[in-house]
Amino acid sequence: IVVATDAPLEARNLKRLAKRAMLGLGATGGTSTSGSGDYVIAFSTAPQLRLIESVEGGLDARTLRNRDTSPLFQAVREATEEAIYNSLLMATTVEGRDGHSVEAIPLRRVFEILQKYRVIATERAFPTQD
């Protein structure tokens, strides 16, 4: 999982943000087992993070305060969850080398299962699949 932000977060808060991405993975059913290979990298592109020399001669960077990070934590959890669902539900059938193919998930069947277990309302129309 790659978490990119333009919020001015220092390394410590970027690590905290990366941990919230794992919550998004868990919300989709990911188990994060020993062999799963789940990994998160988080970085910030904020210009404020570029180190500048202070008047006292040390280096200084302007960062977001801890108390202001909660909305970012929620956003990264939700964005991770949505990205995983999108990767599953918006994938198309592909054919690779030597005629090997991988079929797209059957959206109509997924929709029926979600309706059956009342995850979504039954009156919702089935989304079209191109």
Residue by residue, pLDDT tens for the chain (130 residues) are 999 999 999 999 999 999 999 999 999 998 888 888 899 999 999 988 776 665 665 555 678 888 899 999 999 999 999 999 999 999 999 999 999 999 999 999 998 998 899 888 766 566 665 4
Q: Sign (positive/negative) of CA torsion 61, 65, 69, 71?
A: negative
Read off the pTM.
0.76
pLDDT at 50: 73
Strands (DSSP E) contained in 1-130 are 2-5, 41-44, 52-53, 59-60, 94-95, 101-102
